[in-house]
Structure 1
Amino acid sequence: MALLTFNLIGLQFTWGFEMTYCTPYLLSLGLTKSKTSLVWIAGPLSGLIMQPVIGVLADNSRSKWGRRRPFMLGGAILTAMCLFILGWTAEIVGLFISDPEMAKPCTVALAVISIYAVDFAINSTQSSGRSLIVDTLPIAKQQLGSAWASRMTAFGSLVGYAIGTIDLMAVFGHTIGDTQFKQFTFIAATFFVFSVAVTCWAVEERVLITRKDGDARGSAVKLLANILKTTLNLPDRIQAICWVQFWAWIGWFPFLFYSATWVGEVYFRYHPEAAEKASTDALGDVGRIGSLALVVFSIITFCSSVGLPWLIRSPDSTTQKRSFTPRPPQSLRPFMSPLVTLLKKGKPDLQSAWQYSHLIFAGAMCLAPFVRSLRMATIIVSLCGVPWMLACWAPFSLIGVEINRLTAPASNGSPSSYRGLSNLNGDESLRLNHLDGGIPLPDQGDAGDAESDDEKDIENLLHNPSATTGETAGIYLGILNLFTTLPQFVGTFISMIVFSILEPGKSPELHGEKTSEDIETVKEKPNGIAVCLFIGALSALGAAYATRSMRRRG
């Protein structure tokens, strides 16, 4: 489980770097907040395009290295290259343009292009990594696999934010860059490739073999039509999960991209000592202050990812057969059984826990516009650690169970009542063969081998509910990602309007021409980021209602 999800440490480490440092980095280049919010269309746009497309391409890939791993590693290498360009944009522009005034807009343009390229490349790795978890694990282990994924995500955030609080210049000098931003960029790029390489090396993956050569590679039009048709014909439960994700991410988008900057702004605006302590590296100061709050947030997220799975009831726990000895032991059962029974009855299921997490997040974000101290801002950000853990765990676990049910027959041996993707699209069934010493595929043309042991093994693989193939994982997770990215467009549009009205000028905390008078002026105005966080709280309430409504479909 740890090796299967290890790539998520590097993935979240890199996302954390982008969310913590790239907003203040763009503001330090002279962009206004409203223009910066438009840059962050890169995230949802890349997810909207890349994850479904990569999901379908990987679903049908017949690479000898497996369906997911080539996309994972290729995306990681491309992401690292784009991160290096992002860190050294000024130097790269300086090689071609010597005029400082002309170089400024070119530097901004290259930085924005680099962010777009990073987001597109990293989504290739993210899509394939999530699909690999669904492919590899049977239904009974989907919730545990998603729990491990959330742990690794939380650990990656924790490590990333912790490094962000360190003065890297004091540690490394000028060996890997002459600013905090460049050094963090170097570390993120290197570790991302390493973490993805570990998962690719450790995991055995199945190779896809289709009955017809033409089935594996369709035209771009057919691919997009496949995605659209599947989206419009989602099974009820998967559709319900997707809509909860939609409402939740309208709230999560401003939190993830602006919370670190918001904490830094609260410090600079409302603490008199901030102006005296401010160094010439305002970007580094805001990054370190914001990262400190996110370190506490990540610690709570990580602790929740370890503890909460023990307190939440597993799916189908009443019907699963267990091979281990019942607990408590026979000698202690008269004393412990009442307590064990009480704990079992008190355990919420994952869906209920997800609903409660939306309410916690909404309550925390409602307080954002009223915050006037660094301590309170840190507390509010930290409280969101538990909801974020469930946001990383619940949708993928629930949809993983549903995807595996699509490709597995019912427990009584009858066909599944779900509409499978292969039936929906009229394609022939897909066949999978284990890579790296797995089950070999028998010769399709030799009728005499029909009763061979290999054939029996493959039939068991294809028809045993505990060995589901997850062949449609890529497209369904890609569609889930559509419902994760589309609300980010909504969040971007809301942020742009709020910033244009409340904070139309350059950020006085981060722009190089700031003065104490500028900061005193904005202190009396509403904080645009806080207002965006409050609007996100209203959307989180909608997500809580949608989660509650899921029970009607299941």
Structure 2
Amino acid sequence: MAKKPKLSFWQIWNLSFGFLGVQAGFALQNANVSRILSNYGADLHHLSFFWLVAPIMGLIIQPWVGAASDRTWTRMGRRKPFIFGGAIAAALGMFFMPNSHIAMAIIPPVVFGAIMLALMDASFNVTFQPFRSLVADMTPDEQTNTGYSIQTLLINLGAVIGSFLPFVLTNWLGVENTAPEGSVPPSVIWSFYIGGSILLVSVLWTVFTTKEYNPEEFKQYNSTPESSVTEKQSFWQTLMSMPGIMGKLAVVQFFSWFALFAMWVYTTPAVAQHIWGTAIGDSSTSAYNEAANWVGVLFGLYSVFAALFSIFLDKIANSLGRVKTYSLSLLLGAIGYLSMYIFTGQYALIFSMVGVGIAWAAILAMPYAILARSLPADRMGVYMGIFNITVVVPQIVSGLLLGTILKFVFHEKAIYMIVLAGISMLLAAISAILFVKETKAV
């Protein structure tokens, strides 16, 4: 077996550059969908049910995309057709999401918003998995940490752009930040237009600057029997044959993604109530929209801290080991969440975002770096797709439970949902150090 050639920094950069745009769109969705759906008339207790669309789309789509991209050999490449097609569909969803008036005569605005959310999430999921597999396909073992660290950096740069857009448009460019009930503020509408455009441009950059290995080169660089590249198994056969490390990582993933889902859904109402003193379900006032813009800034800041941490993540992981780095990062994330309950000023929450950002960087990189050397190269896509189940299941559980917990356990105080996220992230840190061990390359 020939050794994969080492890639230059810019070749590794180009592999994941499109993820910057995809994550800009995803960050806009995360920071603003609860706000948009509230503008459209969704009840606070039902927000988590709308957010179930995202993990359900991931559960359905990513394993299929992973398996399909493993068997796809085209002139464009192996992973790039899925990346390109998903980006186009995601951009369309972003252009339509804040414009319920387009279909208001046919369906209620909140239903239109839910449909557009489903379209965006389905499309984002089509692009996510091939980007993960593309790094594993193209980098030699000694550059795996570097590949996923650079990908994490780009992901977070995109998240910074997406998260900051409404705040920048409102406070720097004077775009209106409020709208009548049933409509979305112009600052959010233009943010989605800009984010969708960035998504398309960045994905095109990856498509045109990256040349994937053809089937002959792939066989040359991977110690895989020729027959296994085209071997077909049922989903359940593949699931049952997955490496044991995937199951151990699944425990960590459950607690970490349960926490992330709670943060994405409830940070806006939590900050609005805890810092701005707004009432429950009060989504049309200037105070609520000011809080929502600040949450966008906070989400952007945790992405800034994640991007900065990702610069050093490769060296830290090489020094401490991936598992210890992963666990310590999750612990700092738990501290970040829990501190949000203690702080009562909006600017103090910036310190909370440091820990959240470090955890986010590790979540984006370490599980995939651990897996990359544990999975057979010819089945990388399908196993990475199956691994996404460990991302979506905790979000589905969160979506089904959190609304009830908010109403009957926390009595409408959304800040306690962030405390719950902190406890869950702490359990993730403990699980990582207890269950996950370093493995050798396959």
Fold conserved (TM > 0.5)? Answer: yes
Q: What's the counterpart of residue 244 of structure 1?
A: 252
Which secondary structure state, in structure 1, belongs to the residue aligned with residue 214 of structure 2? strand
Q: What's the counterpart of residue 123 of structure 1?
A: 125
| CA distance 1:471–1:281, shift in 2 (3 Å) | farther
The alpha-carbon deviation at position 387 of structure 1 amounts to 1.3
Q: What's the counterpart of residue 271 of structure 2?
A: 263
Please give the alpha-carbon distance, in whole angstroms, between the structure 1 residues aligned to 2:16 and 2:436: 30
Q: Within 5 Å, which residues of 2 pair with 1:95-494?
A: 96=105, 106-168=108-170, 171=173, 179-208=186-215, 225=234, 227-269=235-277, 284-313=289-318, 347-403=319-375, 406=376, 470-494=377-401
The alpha-carbon deviation at position 33 of structure 1 amounts to 1.7
The alpha-carbon deviation at position 170 of structure 1 amounts to 6.6
Is the aligned partner of 1:58 residue 2:76?
no
Identity %: 19
The alpha-carbon deviation at position 178 of structure 1 amounts to 7.1
Please give the alpha-carbon distance, in whole angstroms, between the structure 2 residues aligned to 1:270 and 1:150: 35
The alpha-carbon deviation at position 279 of structure 1 amounts to 9.0
Is the aligned partner of 1:547 residue 2:432?
yes
Please give the alpha-carbon distance, in whole angstroms, between the structure 1 residues aligned to 2:286 and 2:436: 52
The alpha-carbon deviation at position 542 of structure 1 amounts to 2.6
State whether residues 84 and 189 of structure 1, in contact with CA within 8 Å, keep that contact through their aligned partners in structure 2: yes
| CA distance 1:43–1:53, shift in 2 (3 Å) | same
Please give the alpha-carbon distance, in whole angstroms, between the structure 2 residues aligned to 1:167 and 1:281: 16
Please give the alpha-carbon distance, in whole angstroms, between the structure 2 residues aligned to 1:53 and 1:500: 36
The alpha-carbon deviation at position 245 of structure 1 amounts to 1.7
Q: What's the counterpart of residue 56 of structure 2?
A: 45
State whether residues 259 and 381 of structure 1, in contact with CA within 8 Å, keep that contact through their aligned partners in structure 2: no
* Pick aligned residue for 1:501 from 387, 404, 408: 408
Is the aligned partner of 1:25 residue 2:36?
yes
Please give the alpha-carbon distance, in whole angstroms, between the structure 1 residues aligned to 2:74 and 2:59: 25
State whether residues 316 and 325 of structure 2, in contact with CA within 8 Å, keep that contact through their aligned partners in structure 1: no
CA RMSD of aligned residues (A): 3.0
Q: What's the counterpart of residue 93 of structure 1?
A: 103
Please give the alpha-carbon distance, in whole angstroms, between the structure 2 residues aligned to 1:125 and 1:194: 14
What's the CA shift string for 1:146-180, capped at 9, x where partnerless? 11011111111122222232135973869xx9711
Q: Within 5 Å, which residues of 2 pair with 1:77-88?
A: 77-88=88-99
Q: What's the counterpart of residue 36 of structure 1?
A: 47
In structure 1, give the amino acid aligned to 2:303: S
What's the CA shift string for 1:295-338, capped at 9, x where partnerless? 3322211211112323332xxxxxxxxxxxxxxxxxxxxxxxxx
Is the aligned partner of 1:13 residue 2:18?
no
The alpha-carbon deviation at position 195 of structure 1 amounts to 1.0
Greater Cα shift, 114-123 or 161-170: 161-170
Report the structure number with the largest CA radius of gyration: 1
Q: Give unpaired runs (5+ residues) of structure 1.
A: 98-104, 314-346, 407-469, 504-524
| CA distance 1:253–1:178, shift in 2 (3 Å) | closer
The alpha-carbon deviation at position 552 of structure 1 amounts to 5.7
The alpha-carbon deviation at position 472 of structure 1 amounts to 1.3
The alpha-carbon deviation at position 490 of structure 1 amounts to 1.4
What's the CA shift string for 1:490-515, capped at 9, x where partnerless? 11122121233368xxxxxxxxxxxx
Please give the alpha-carbon distance, in whole angstroms, between the structure 1 residues aligned to 2:171 and 2:255: 41
State whether residues 334 and 426 of structure 2, in contact with CA within 8 Å, keep that contact through their aligned partners in structure 1: yes
| CA distance 1:284–1:188, shift in 2 (3 Å) | farther
What's the CA shift string for 1:432-489, capped at 9, x where partnerless? xxxxxxxxxxxxxxxxxxxxxxxxxxxxxxxxxxxxxx32111111121111111111
In structure 2, give the amino acid aligned to 1:112: A
What's the CA shift string for 1:388-427, capped at 9, x where partnerless? 1111111111111222xx3xxxxxxxxxxxxxxxxxxxxx
Greater Cα shift, 475-484 or 534-543: 534-543
State whether residues 86 and 123 of structure 2, in contact with CA within 8 Å, keep that contact through their aligned partners in structure 1: yes
The alpha-carbon deviation at position 540 of structure 1 amounts to 2.2
| CA distance 1:189–1:283, shift in 2 (3 Å) | farther
Which secondary structure state, in structure 1, belongs to the residue aligned with residue 309 of structure 2? helix
Greater Cα shift, 52-61 or 256-265: 256-265
| CA distance 1:178–1:297, shift in 2 (3 Å) | closer
The alpha-carbon deviation at position 12 of structure 1 amounts to 1.2
State whether residues 279 and 285 of structure 1, in contact with CA within 8 Å, keep that contact through their aligned partners in structure 2: no
State whether residues 131 and 474 of structure 1, in contact with CA within 8 Å, keep that contact through their aligned partners in structure 2: yes
Greater Cα shift, 119-128 or 358-367: 358-367
Please give the alpha-carbon distance, in whole angstroms, between the structure 2 residues aligned to 1:5 and 1:83: 21
Please give the alpha-carbon distance, in whole angstroms, between the structure 1 residues aligned to 2:425 and 2:284: 38
The alpha-carbon deviation at position 84 of structure 1 amounts to 1.6
State whether residues 322 and 438 of structure 2, in contact with CA within 8 Å, keep that contact through their aligned partners in structure 1: no
Please give the alpha-carbon distance, in whole angstroms, between the structure 1 residues aligned to 2:90 and 2:231: 26
State whether residues 175 and 187 of structure 2, in contact with CA within 8 Å, keep that contact through their aligned partners in structure 1: no
TM-score between both structures, scaled by the size of structure 1: 0.68
| CA distance 1:54–1:199, shift in 2 (3 Å) | same
| CA distance 1:26–1:472, shift in 2 (3 Å) | same
The alignment covers a number of residue pairs equal to: 411
The alpha-carbon deviation at position 282 of structure 1 amounts to 6.0
Please give the alpha-carbon distance, in whole angstroms, between the structure 2 residues aligned to 1:160 and 1:250: 22
Please give the alpha-carbon distance, in whole angstroms, between the structure 2 residues aligned to 1:179 and 1:149: 32
In structure 1, give the amino acid aligned to 2:197: T
State whether residues 330 and 425 of structure 2, in contact with CA within 8 Å, keep that contact through their aligned partners in structure 1: yes
The alpha-carbon deviation at position 290 of structure 1 amounts to 1.0
The alpha-carbon deviation at position 29 of structure 1 amounts to 1.9
The alpha-carbon deviation at position 46 of structure 1 amounts to 0.8
The answer to which structure has the higher helix fraction is: 2
Please give the alpha-carbon distance, in whole angstroms, between the structure 2 residues aligned to 1:22 and 1:242: 27
